[in-house]
Amino acid sequence: MFGDYSIGDLGSIFVMQGFAGLILFSVYVLMALGLAIIFGQMGVINMAHGEFMILGAYVTWMTSNFFQSYLPSLFSGYFFLAMILAFLASGALGMLMEWVLIRNLYKRPLDTLLATWGLSLILQQAYRSIFGAREVGVELPQWMLGSLHVSDSIEVPINGVFVMGLTVLITIGVAYIMYRSRWGRQVRAVVQNRIMAGAVGINTAKVDRYTFALGCGIAGVAGSAFTMIGSTGPTSGQLYIVDTFLVVVFGGAASLLGTIASAFSISQTQSTLEFFMSGSMAKVLTLLAVVGILMLRPQGLFALKVRK
């Protein structure tokens, strides 16, 4: 399998595939961060997570259209505003859903799965009715197109670098919120023992609502970032959901570090395998490996040591 390539070629291939894997890694981390908060911290199975991402993508698409028609001079910077809007839109919808739906189901985690699946069906049809069934693509500003030439045989697309930078920023932000801020401590207290946290004066209902909203908001930003890489349709969200859950579960549900580590290992495995076989077989092998490891180590890579 290696015979046809020289050492230099192989090196470039691995660098390029490694880089493609890094972009995939960023995508996985962005998708999984929101879910790691909602599923890992709160224990809610949010099957509509993909649809919250798609909401962010549609918000980005609308912002880009708005700038193109009314503010063409500022078009190169629309993306930053779009991401904020995506965060707010998905977060607001998440907050509403928590209030209507999720707060009734904290004691029945498996039922959250069913209810949010119903929610995801409704959202999909809503997108189809509002935006049409066709996939939409966002026009990128000039500076995001093209690629950096690192050497003769190695090229790196700029939008990929941008997504990676964004991922790093958001990850640091989430880590700060969850592990350093006062509010993050409240979240973790509520997760560990809801009744006790309420007894010491934490408004658990409020903490729940904002945690859920934060997770959904990050999903919106992730969806916004995806528009730079691919197009968006009403059912795109469903494509991501299994991968995302696997990333979170593989990493160990309650650990942010685990989420990042598992996203890294899954994405690198997949992109390296993709070079040597068809994309679908690479995906099958990667998923099989993940499921296999999960059978050996059900609590995931980085499990918190908690007595149950």
Partner 1 sequence: MNENRFINRSELIGILVLAVFLVVVLPLCLDVFRLNLVAKYLTYAFVALGLVICWGYGGILSLGQGVFFGLGGYCMAMFLKLEASSVENTKIQSTPGIPDFMDWNQITALPLFWKPFHSLTFAVLAVMLVPGIFAFIIGAAMFKRRVGGTYFAIITQAVAAILTILIVGQQGYTGGINGMTDLRTLKGWDIRPDHAKVVLYFFEVGLLFLCIFIAYFIRRSKLGRILVAMRDQEDRVRFSGYSVANFKIFAFCVAAVFAAIGGGMFALNVGFMSPSFVGIVPSIEMVIYTAVGGRLSILGAVYGTILVNFAKTSLSESFPELWLFGLGGLFIAVVLAFPNGLAGIWGDYVQPRISKLIGARKPKSGWTDNSVADGAPAE
Footprint on this chain of partner 1 (rule: CB under 8 A):
39, 43, 45, 47, 101, 104-105, 108-111, 113-115, 117-122, 124-126, 128-129, 238, 241-242, 245-246, 249, 278, 280-281, 283-284, 287-288, 290-291, 294-296, 298
Structure tokens at 15: 């660098």
Q: Considering beta carbons, is residue 77 or 109 the nearer one to partner 1?
A: 109
- Nearby residues of 7 by Cβ (< 8 Å), 6 or more positions away: none
Q: Considering beta carbons, is residue 128 or 188 the nearer one to partner 1?
A: 128
CB of 33 to partner 1, least distance (A): 17
Q: Considering beta carbons, is residue 35 or 260 the nearer one to partner 1?
A: 35
What letter would DSSP give residue 141? P
Q: Considering beta carbons, is residue 114 or 145 the nearer one to partner 1?
A: 114
Q: Considering beta carbons, is residue 82 or 246 the nearer one to partner 1?
A: 246
Q: Considering beta carbons, is residue 71 or 242 the nearer one to partner 1?
A: 242
CA distance linking residue 280 with residue 289, whole number of Å: 14
CB of 175 to partner 1, least distance (A): 24
CB of 294 to partner 1, least distance (A): 6
CB of 284 to partner 1, least distance (A): 5
Task: Work out whether the CA dihedral 38, 39, 43, 46 comes out positive or negative.
Answer: positive
Looking up tokens 């996985």 gives 28
Buried b / exposed e along 75-97 (16+ C-beta atoms within 10 A): eeebbebbbbbbbebbbebbbeb
Phi, psi for residue 248 in degrees, rounded to 5: -65, -45
The DSSP-derived string for 221-272 is: HHHHHHTTTS-B-TTHHHHHHHHHHHHHHHH-TT-HHHHHHHHHHHHHHHHH
CB of 167 to partner 1, least distance (A): 23
CB of 273 to partner 1, least distance (A): 13
Reduce the DSSP state of residue 293 to 3 states and report it.
helix
Q: Considering beta carbons, is residue 48 or 261 the nearer one to partner 1?
A: 48
CB of 140 to partner 1, least distance (A): 30
CA distance linking residue 43 with residue 110, whole number of Å: 9
Q: Specify the DSSP element, H or E, that contains 11.
A: helix 7-35
Q: Considering beta carbons, is residue 68 or 129 the nearer one to partner 1?
A: 129
What residues pair up with 147 in beta bridges, in sequence order? 157
CB of 288 to partner 1, least distance (A): 6
Q: Considering beta carbons, is residue 74 or 133 the nearer one to partner 1?
A: 133
Looking up tokens 């958001």 gives 170
Looking up tokens 């995806």 gives 226
CA distance linking residue 227 with residue 136, whole number of Å: 9
User: 158 and 143 in contact (C-beta within 8 Å)?
Assistant: yes
Number of other residues whose CB lies within 10 A of the CB of residue 210: 19
CB of 227 to partner 1, least distance (A): 24
